[in-house]
Amino acid sequence: MVHHTKFRVALVTHQLKAFVRHDGNVRLPNAIAAVTRTSTLNAVLQIHQVIQNLESVARAQMTADFVPGVQLGITIGSETAVRSLGTNLITKRATDDDTLFRIASITKVFTAAVLARLHRAAVVDLDAPVRRYVPEFDLADHDAANRVTTRQLLLHTGGFAVYQELVPSGPDALSIGARGQIHAEQIAPPGDLFNYNGIGYMVAGRVIEVVTGTSYEEALRGALHGPLGMSRTKFARPFHV
């Protein structure tokens, strides 16, 4: 998925590793942390200083990791600031506020949000076995496949290892992918272990298709992109933005 950053969510195309400690907790550089703790600063001056510090960190990380282009966004109160750095390698132009970036696994946030809304509307039960909605889903451990829930897929606690295979693009892609998990090895009982597994979100996407009676793409447009005015957020074919 690609996204337009004028929506009030900060999407950064490269992880600023300076913000993440080895234990996984977020650590803001001291200059930024000090600003965000100072509630007496004028919001406009505060956000200006924060975005300047973020830009310095981003530029250093871009140089270290050969990142061609980045967009930064931050909101403090009612104030929003955006910075665009580097170059768009496709257009050969400077990155600007209108540059589209692939957001890759950030798409999982959209999947989880749609399923949470469907759960609230009693259209889907996140704690019911996935196979209630996607009977073609299976695992090498058939008993485990019968017990995995949609909530566990969203929490990466389904307990099965990542199994990837090339699935042709098409209206049946998610269904075929769910069926192919019959080759996935079970490494823990469902619900017992966190193991990052993006394939679980593919199966969760198939749940959305089944309960809404439409494609995953159309379901997201109707539930999120349209109501939020995200007219430039779209699904892109591989290697084409």
Span 218-236, pLDDT tens digits = 999 999 999 999 888 888 7
Enter the tokens of residue 157: 């606690």
Q: Where are the domains of the chain?
A: 2-102, 108-225
The CATH class that applies to domain 108-225 reads alpha beta
**pTM for this model (two decimals):** 0.73
**pLDDT tens, 122-170?**
999 999 999 999 999 999 999 999 999 999 999 999 999 999 888 878 8
Which residue bears the tokens 């090498």?
A: 140
Q: How many helices (H) and strands (E) does the chain have?
A: 8, 5
Q: Residue 106: name the closest of 171, 212, 15, 206 by CA.
A: 15
154 with 168: CB under 8 angstroms? no
Cα(first)–Cα(last) distance of the chain, in Å? 9
47 with 81: CB under 8 angstroms? yes
170 with 202: CB under 8 angstroms? no
